[in-house]
Amino acid sequence: MQSEPDHKAQMVARHEMVMRLIDNNARQLRCDNQRHGAEIEGQLAARAAAAAGASPPLLEAVAQCDRRLAEIDDEGRRLAAERDWLTAALATFDAEAVGSGSKEDFNG
């Protein structure tokens, strides 16, 4: 059986992991929104470049949108990897808590 301070420390540690996971989810949603906006901007820039005979400033606008999408994709992959790590860490934490004889069921 765990002492009260140990139990509180475990609950605080678990709470911090859950809060990091919630923050990651919020950042993923913002990243998704940025992606959708950049896709729209890219489509508008490509349409304008095609209609105007592809002037250099319009071609640069298309290229800039493509670069922004690549950056957003990189951030999305980084956030997904972070989410996977946090999810695995939380599952491990919960499994260890159950294995240590904790009286709390952290899964609900």
Structure tokens at 49: 């470049």
User: Is the CB of residue 28 less than 8 Å from the CB of residue 76?
Assistant: yes
Compute the distance between CA of residue 57 and CA of residue 63 in angstroms, rounded to an integer: 10
Residue 96's CB is within 10 A of a number of other CB atoms, namely 12
16-71 pLDDT, tens digit per residue, is 999 999 999 999 999 999 999 999 999 999 998 888 677 888 889 999 999 999 99
pLDDT digits (tens, 9 = 90+) for 89-108: 999 989 987 776 655 544 54
